[in-house]
Structure 1
């Protein structure tokens, strides 16, 4: 897998200010405000920064948390997990493994079959509807 690396200025030119804040500065959008938290249209969710396919709509579920939630990534090597100790908590951060964009966090309270809840910022994603 080829890594995508760009300067901060190049990312700023490509992304909206809100997308940049989430993907490059690890900000979090407010719950129940993102464009995909309540979307259940069939399709693929891609990294907004590099276009890598990350999550399929058939793994998306309503976690009631206000962010898009998935029980598994499209392929395990497309996302990377790192320990996040900010805000006085210990969480597992999820990043795009191609461009290192911050996506959100993963928690062990999801549904079967994985028991995981990938809680992802809408601003870190673009959506490609399934072809009809």
Structure 2
């Protein structure tokens, strides 16, 4: 259970996650505050379980997409508040994303995240993103 006296509603919780972890500060310590210990994310055909594993995944991603910023375009929740859906856009500089050559160019892709909320924290997330389109564009630009 979140012991923080300032409990965030599910939409605020997801927006705080995007702002703090995927915003300019890249505050990975916020993961401990905002997510359950058994947090699991499924994205890009893989599942990452646990806060420490997720922090490592985020750290690696942010190394390959430097200055990565993700901004919510729209966020909604279901009536019971245990699901939050966010449509977002992520921008950053290509530093070898997808194992492709790093060129430092600004890139962007869109995505949708569906979070499950438990005990006032994010417990699970499923992400669909336009990674294939970005991969094809970067690869084409380098051919």
Q: Which has the higher contact order (CA 8 A, sep 6+)?
A: 1
Same fold (TM over 0.5): no
Higher relative strand content: 2
Q: TM-score, normalised by structure 1?
A: 0.30
Whose helix fraction is larger, Structure 1's or Structure 2's? 2
* Structure whose CA Rg is larger: 2
Query: What TM-score do the two structures reach when normalised by structure 2?
Result: 0.29
